[in-house]
A = this chain, B = another copy of it.
Amino acid sequence: MTKPGKDGFHMPGEFEPHSGTIMIFPERPGSWTYDAEPALPSFLKIWEAITEDEKLYLLVSPEKHQKAEMLCKNLKNIEILEIPQNDAWARDTAPTFVRNPQTGKVRGIDWNFNAWGGTFDGLYADWQNDNALAGAFCQKMGFPIYDAKPFVLEGGSIHSDGQGLVMTTEACLLSPGRNPNLTKEQITETLCEYLGANRVIWLPRGIYHDETNEHVDNICAFIRPGEAVLAWTDDKNDPQYALSKACLEVLQKENIIVHRLPIPDVPVCITEHDLQGYVFEPGEDTRELGERLAASYVNFYFTNKSVLLPQFGGENEQSDKRAVSIMTELCPNRKIIPIPARELLLGGGNIHCLTQQIPALKER
């Protein structure tokens, strides 16, 4: 094993067939309000939808193992694995998988994880379990591992179209909290080597106030090769406008077909009740009353047959319906499954951030 690209492996599109999905049971008190109770119904809906279509690997701490077993007792197609973690964002801490189309073999990449910025602007102070999670999963399941450390990367900061094109954001991957000793060119090269790609589109920005330093997976997603949805607003007074517009210009210059997917009309903000539900650790990024959350419908997840689409409810009922209708039109062969997601957003991300696909495989 050298590097994935050189070995004939590449990262498939998420819309290509999966053999399964990895998720993590929500537990962190600084992310999941009121012991995660308000968020668990959304998690259950996601677990139900995924296990309809493919295998679900649910990672859980020893403390929550029994609770997870009870909650999932009616689900088939699920395997619960005890692997310690610091939070539930499988997209960012589980392996990125690459596949060899000739052999159907699948291998995992183990990036360096530093809680979205390390000591520079990371979101919590101890991310040891998170950083060990990808390796632990691969070892337990028998996937060969490409060790990409010390290169810092979260899965949510990249999208692949499965045809050699990768998309990321400058705001995140050029942030001082990631790989400040590498130039943009060197980062481009590293992405190409590991993801078996030959081209990287650098979007300048992501979603306003996105605490991941603006991950690409909250603002833009491929729905098929050469075609993407982009989080959008027509409101020039909204701080999102300039960010989305800058991304649109890059995508158009790169000849990507872009479909605009408007963000919620009413900003989703932290209420006093929300705030009371968090328990923050020392060194952990806290929330503030009235803080605008990075709500976007682009943070959906493709299972083998469906699209799990975030819905924010409340004053955004119309916006929610608009998103369902746009995605229905764009993905005519898939079932659009609306998932109540305000409580997921309170955790700091959304459905895509909570999931990681394992490509279809013939052997490991």
Contacts and interface: CB of A to CB of B under 8 A. Distances in A.
Nearest to A282: B236
Contacts of A186: 183
A167 B237 CA distance: 36
Nearest to A236: B282
A237 B119 contact: no
B180 A120 contact: no
B183 A204 contact: no
A148 interface: no
A184 B174 contact: no
B176 A180 contact: no
A170 B174 contact: no
B181 A181 contact: no
Interface string A169-182: 01100111000111
Contact of A286 (B121, B174, B237, B288): B237
A120 to B, nearest CB: 5
Contacts of A288: 239
A272 interface: no
Given A180-B170, A183-B181, A185-B181, A205 B120 contact: yes
Interface residues of A, number: 25
A120 B181 CA distance: 20
A205 B205 CA distance: 20
A343 to B, nearest CB: 24
Interface string A87-123: 0000000000000000000000000000000011100
Contacts of A185: 181
Contact of A174 (B180, B204, B239, B285): B180
A246 interface: yes
Contact of A246 (B119, B181, B285): B119
Nearest to A243: B121
Contact of A183 (B171, B182, B285): B182
Interface in A147-187: 170-171, 174-176, 180-186
B181 A170 contact: no
Contacts of A170: 120, 176, 180
Interface string A266-289: 000000000000000001011010
Contact of A184 (B171, B181, B237, B246): B181
Contacts of A239: 288
Given A237-B286, A286-B237, A121 B180 contact: no
24 contacts: A119-B204, A119-B246, A120-B170, A120-B171, A120-B205, A120-B246, A121-B205, A170-B176, A170-B180, A171-B176, A174-B174, A174-B175, A174-B176, A175-B175, A176-B204, A180-B183, A180-B184, A181-B183, A182-B183, A183-B183, A237-B286, A239-B288, A242-B283, A242-B285
Interface of A: 119-121, 170-171, 174-176, 180-186, 204-205, 237, 239, 242, 246, 283, 285-286, 288
